């Protein structure tokens, strides 16, 4: 009798290890964790999970601080056949109650400070048990792992078995659990290794959170799939990142990382001359940041495009022109098309429509939402992303916003990214966000929310006068509001829903 091929993602990582003594993690306290250490420690967590009753297919939720052990919990969950459910440390009790009630995890790992609140939530929904997990190495789950065997026989997984569930941000309704399979994650990691030319000599500077696809899957899985190593920092800190860059060969970050680095005089060409690539994602990188970074460092940031449901879809080329305001080309084995919002018909070059994606990276569907899953897929298997974009004559893909962010003013479609790019290029403006809010005459009024740079003397008319050189009149902001900072989530995405609520009454009499 023959057995089917094992698709456990950890097995793929293990197959890329050439030397167990090679470094895997370089920690803030200067400790170095080898690949051999990683295999043993992840085995301890796998054994701990099994001893606590976690079975293949069970969900393991983790609301824990970033640490090496938090990463090994994820890897141990893969090895034990569990489904990893990382949760943002910023989530409050009401949000957690929704996720836990919906996912019904067999085990919830949390900090000691959150234990009582989580136990009440778990008890109320009758799901699983709670174990503590603290950043400094304490907690009941860590104690169980400490006493567990360092050898574990990885459980067999099929390609279509779930490896993780990530909940979407839920800005347009209740959060949805995106089901990601072992094949989804392994195929995407391998595509990124190939396109970004990662090898076992690479050292990635990792200052991202690991509750999100960027830090957990794009960064970590790519490094593990290449046998490289990571400088593993607990969070982004300009001084610590600058100090670590001489030991790195590459860095992944959100646009905020790069804008903050640019503010430091220590970021010089000499400091980063050895860096192989800087990669940006999770939020749009402004053309100004792209330009300034290249001028200051000699490096053109490589921007890519992904989402919770698909991991990475596209990338600017490693070799070739990295074009500002674009996210490059579809990754290998991934198809991208642009379709009309209303008819669903495929559009021509440079026409803006909804981005649709098909490939091995596309998720299995939304957890316990079969009808919602059906709504989001075409009959031919393409996933309807909800992002708006276009493909230019050279094949580069550009994102102009979310379908929900489209502004329809006086019957005209306005794409916020176009106006934002023009605003950000104005001297005296640090960054901007463009939203549509109710307008008595136009349906929606184009509204700009601007963060000034220094002592900004600009007023609405000054800004409109500058913009009208390049933009049609119907795209010009009818009002401009100045703020100290734009609201962002932990991945750096501007929370436009908050801005729409804040300025909802901007045009009311």
CA–CA gap between residue 241 and residue 255 (Å, rounded)? 14
Mean pLDDT of the chain: 93
Q: What is the pLDDT of residues 285-294, one digit of tens each?
A: 888 899 999 9
3-state secondary structure of 431: strand
Q: Domain for residue 10, yes or no?
A: no
Compute CA distances 453 → 263, 429, 433, 480, 482, whole Å. Answer: 12, 5, 14, 15, 11
Phi, psi of 96 (to 5 degrees): -65, -40
CA–CA gap between residue 75 and residue 62 (Å, rounded)? 13
Higher pLDDT, 418 or 448: 448
pLDDT attached to residue 509 = 61
pLDDT attached to residue 432 = 94
For residues 7-17, give the mean pLDDT.
97
Structure tokens at 298: 């000699």
pLDDT attached to residue 172 = 45
Confidence of residue 173 (pLDDT cuts 50, 70, 90): low
Last residue of a domain, one of 148, 164, 180: 180
**Res 1 pLDDT > 50:** no
- Residue that has been written with the tokens 């669903």 in this structure: 344
Q: What is the pLDDT of residues 205-222, one digit of tens each?
A: 999 999 999 999 999 999
For residues 416-432, give the mean pLDDT.
90
Q: Which helix (H) or strand (E) holds 480?
A: strand 479-482
Phi, psi of 71 (to 5 degrees): -70, -40
Last residue of a domain, one of 180, 198, 227: 180
Q: What is the DSSP secondary-structure string of 24-69?
A: EEE-TTS-EEEHHHHHHHHHHHHHHHHHTT--TT-EEEEE----HH
Query: 3-state DSSP: the chain helix, strand, coil percent, rounded to 5?
Result: 30, 25, 45
pLDDT attached to residue 169 = 63
In percent, how much of the chain has pLDDT > 90? 80
Inter-residue contact 388 to 353 (CB < 8 Å): yes
Q: Domain for residue 119, yes or no?
A: yes
**Res 59 pLDDT > 50:** yes
For residues 359-370, give the mean pLDDT.
97
Last residue of a domain, one of 360, 387, 402: 402
Residue 429, domain CATH: 3.30.300.30
HSE-up (13 A, CA, CB side) for residue 477: 29
Burial 312-322 (b: 16+ CB within 10 A, else e): bbbbbebeeeb
Q: Which helix (H) or strand (E) holds 12?
A: helix 9-15
Q: Domain for residue 226, yes or no?
A: no
Other beta carbons less than 10 A from residue 309's beta carbon: 25
Structure tokens at 382: 């393409």
CA 296 to the chain's CA centroid: 26
Inter-residue contact 81 to 56 (CB < 8 Å): yes
**Res 146 pLDDT > 70:** yes
HSE-up (13 A, CA, CB side) for residue 319: 3
- Residue that has been written with the tokens 């893969």 in this structure: 78
3-state secondary structure of 338: strand
Do 347 and 482 belong to one domain?
no
Q: What is the pLDDT of residues 250-272, one digit of tens each?
A: 999 998 899 899 999 999 999 99
Q: Which helix (H) or strand (E) holds 102?
A: helix 93-103
Mean pLDDT is highest, among 388-397, 417-426, 449-458, for: 388-397
Q: Domain for residue 385, yes or no?
A: yes
Inter-residue contact 367 to 165 (CB < 8 Å): yes
- Residue that has been written with the tokens 């008595």 in this structure: 440
Compute CA distances 341 → 128, 337, 345, 388, 434, whole Å. Answer: 43, 12, 8, 9, 21
Do 412 and 392 belong to one domain?
no
Q: Domain for residue 152, yes or no?
A: yes
**Res 171 pLDDT > 50:** no
pTM score, two decimals? Answer: 0.88
CA 191 to the chain's CA centroid: 17
CA–CA gap between residue 209 and residue 234 (Å, rounded)? 8
The DSSP output letter for 406 is -
CA–CA gap between residue 340 and residue 330 (Å, rounded)? 19
**Res 455 pLDDT > 80:** no
CA angle (316, 317, 319) in 5-degree steps: 150
Using CA atoms in the order 207, 73, 314, 205, what is the torsion angle rounded to 10 degrees?
20
Do 391 and 242 belong to one domain?
yes
CA–CA gap between residue 278 and residue 308 (Å, rounded)? 21
3-state secondary structure of 439: strand
Do 251 and 380 belong to one domain?
yes
Q: What is the pLDDT of residues 368-419, one digit of tens each?
A: 999 999 999 999 999 999 999 999 999 999 998 888 888 988 777 788 888 9
Do 345 and 421 belong to one domain?
no
Residue 254, domain CATH: 3.40.50.12780
Inter-residue contact 327 to 303 (CB < 8 Å): yes
Q: What is the pLDDT of residues 80-117, one digit of tens each?
A: 999 999 998 888 888 899 999 999 999 999 999 999 99
**Res 188 pLDDT > 60:** yes
How many structural domains is the chain composed of?
Answer: 3
**Res 202 pLDDT > 70:** yes
Q: Domain for residue 192, yes or no?
A: no
pLDDT attached to residue 362 = 98
**Res 307 pLDDT > 90:** yes
The DSSP output letter for 213 is H
Do 132 and 91 belong to one domain?
yes
Do 248 and 320 belong to one domain?
yes
Q: Name the residue range of residue 303's domain.
A: 236-402
pLDDT attached to residue 417 = 86
Q: Domain for residue 153, yes or no?
A: yes
Measure CA of the first residue to CA of the last residue in the chain; give whole Å.
77
As a three-state string, the secondary structure of 157-204 is CCCCCEEEEEECCCCCCCCCEEEEEHHHHHHHHHHHHHHCCCCCCCEE
């Amino acid at each position: 009798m023959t057995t089917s091929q094992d698709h456990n993602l950890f097995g793929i990582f293990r197959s890329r290890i050439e030397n167990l003594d090679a470094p895997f993690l370089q920690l803030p306290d200067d400790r170095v964790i080898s690949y051999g250490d990683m295999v043993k420690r992840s085995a301890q967590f796998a054994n701990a999970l099994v001893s606590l009753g976690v079975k293949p297919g069970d969900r393991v939720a983790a609301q824990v601080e970033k640490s090496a052990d938090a990463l090994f919990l994820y890897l141990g969950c893969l090895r034990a056949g569990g489904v990893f459910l990382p949760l943002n440390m910023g989530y409050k009790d009401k949000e957690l109650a929704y996720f836990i009630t919906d996912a019904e995890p067999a085990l919830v790992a949390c900090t000691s400070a959150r234990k009582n609140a989580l136990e009440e939530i778990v008890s109320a929904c009758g799901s699983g048990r709670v174990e503590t997990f603290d950043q400094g190495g304490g907690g009941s789950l860590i104690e169980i792992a400490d006493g567990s065997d360092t050898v574990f026989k990885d459980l067999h997984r099929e390609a279509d078995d779930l490896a993780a569930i990530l909940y979407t941000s839920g800005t347009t309704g209740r959060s949805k659990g995106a089901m990601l399979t072992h094949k989804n994650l392994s195929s995407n990691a391998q595509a990124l290794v190939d396109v970004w030319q990662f090898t076992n000599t690479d050292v990635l500077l990792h200052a991202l959170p690991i509750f999100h696809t960027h830090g957990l899957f794009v960064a970590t899985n790519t490094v593990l799939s290449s046998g490289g190593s990571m400088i593993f920092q607990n969070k982004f800190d300009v001084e610590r990142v600058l100090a670590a860059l001489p030991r790195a060969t590459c860095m992944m970050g959100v646009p905020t990382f790069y804008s903050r680095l640019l503010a430091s005089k220590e970021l010089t060409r000499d400091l980063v001359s050895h860096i192989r690539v800087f990669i940006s994602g999770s939020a749009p990188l402004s053309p100004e940041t792209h330009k300034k970074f290249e001028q200051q460092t000699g490096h053109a940031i490589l921007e890519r495009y992904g989402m919770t449901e698909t991991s990475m879809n596209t990338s600017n080329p490693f070799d070739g022109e990295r074009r500002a305001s674009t996210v490059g080309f579809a990754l290998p084995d991934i198809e991208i098309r642009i379709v009309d919002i209303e008819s669903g018909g495929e559009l021509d070059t440079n026409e803006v429509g909804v981005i649709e994606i098909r490939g091995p990276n596309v998720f299995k569907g939304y957890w316990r939402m079969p009808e919602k899953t059906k709504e989001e897929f075409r009959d031919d298997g393409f996933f309807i992303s909800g992002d708006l974009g276009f493909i230019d004559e050279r094949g580069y893909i550009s994102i102009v916003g979310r379908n929900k962010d489209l502004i329809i003013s006086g019957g005209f479609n306005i794409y916020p990214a176009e106006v934002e790019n023009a605003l950000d290029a104005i001297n005296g403006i640090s960054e901007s966000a463009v939203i549509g809010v109710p307008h008595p005459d136009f349906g929606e009024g184009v509204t700009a929310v601007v963060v000034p740079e220094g002592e900004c003397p600009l007023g609405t008319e000054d800004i409109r006068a500058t913009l009208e050189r390049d933009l049609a009149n119907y795209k010009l902001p009818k009002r401009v509001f100045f703020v100290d900072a734009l609201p962002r989530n932990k991945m750096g995405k501007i929370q436009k829903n908050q801005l729409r609520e804040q300025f909802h009454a901007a045009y009311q009499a």
